[in-house]
Amino acid sequence: MKVGEISAKLNEKGLKVTPQRIAVFEAISKLSNHPTADNVIDYIRNKHPNIATATVYKVLDALVSNELIKKVKTEKDVMRYDAILEKHHHLYCSESDRIEDFNDEELNNILEMYFKKKEIPDFKIEDIKLQIIGKFTKGDQ
């Protein structure tokens, strides 16, 4: 995602456009592997060595609370971040902690229809996403 796009998204949410917010948002977009806060910090330190660790965490919280990114928690209780807001699920490798996006419109429709029929009492569903746990059999782990 380019700086102009990031600035526009921040403006849409009424957030002040700062170099720190741009750097963090850009890092999450470019590190398309669902980075941790530490991954983001390591990435931005090359260009922005003066951005404090606490600032990165504050920016991440602001981006999440303004629905510009999402949190993804792994089975090992590691918090990761996702810049893709479109409906998708995750494949999670229990050995390597790797997360890959999984898009399947048919699965989305099945889940939506299932929960529409079930009507969970006193609960309003806002989103449905699966985290499918297994082991990748090819590629880096």
Binding site for Zn(2+): what residues are annotated? 93
Binding site residues, as ranges?
93
CA dist., res. 105 & res. 91, Å (int) = 15
Query: Going edge to edge, which strands form the sheet with 99-102?
Result: 99-102, 89-93, 131-134
Q: What string of DSSP letters covers 17-31?
A: --HHHHHHHHHHHH-
Q: Which residues, 6 or more positions from 104, have their beta carbon under 8 angstroms from its beta carbon?
A: 89
